[in-house]
Amino acid sequence: MSELDANILIGEREIARRVDELATEISADYADKAPLVLLGVLKGAFIFLADLSRHLSIPRTVEFIAVSSYHSSSISTGAVRLVMDVRESIENKHVLIIEDIVDSGHTLNYLTGMLRTRNPASLRTCALLQKSGRAQVDVTVDYVGFNIANEWVVGYGLDYLEKDRTLPFIGAIDIRDKD
């Protein structure tokens, strides 16, 4: 995909503006609870996490976790598996999970359930994108960048089979004839 043939859903400026708005809201909500642990879900959230972290006005640390539910295809199995765990303890810490996209809700449901057993002081969630009407499990997303329709999206961290992850915008692609 290139910028010339992409169906751009959310442009660079719109993303930057919304990331700044989210950072302002999160900074206000955690002003008396800092430092905040930003827990980025790899690989998709890395660009969003970096930009969001730079805009926060509160002390924070960054951790990463990796999970998988796609297993080399474009169809989620619904079964989530842990690929890489957090390196530091989150016990008694305020944790904000940073996700690229919430689609079925399985990944976020898995992560919040697992991480709650580690006794954080608080556990909340932030997603750049949330697909409307796609949830298969009930999950709460405390901070949402954008609500989008049920389209496959790439760019700004999101990919299709490891491609187009570094596009500076979010674009929709048609994957029907790609699998």
Half-sphere exposure of 121 (CA within 13 A, CB side): 11
153 alpha-carbon distance from chain centroid: 13
Contact 110, 68 (CB under 8 A): no
Contact 47, 162 (CB under 8 A): no
Nearest to 173 by CA among 67, 74, 43: 74
Catalytic residue check, 5 = no
The rounded distance, in Å, linking the Cα atoms of 16 and 144 is: 14
> What secondary structure does DSSP assign to 70-93, as a single string?
SSSSSS--S--EEEE--SS--TTS
- List 103, 159, 174, 179, catalytic entry: 103
| Catalytic residue annotation | 103
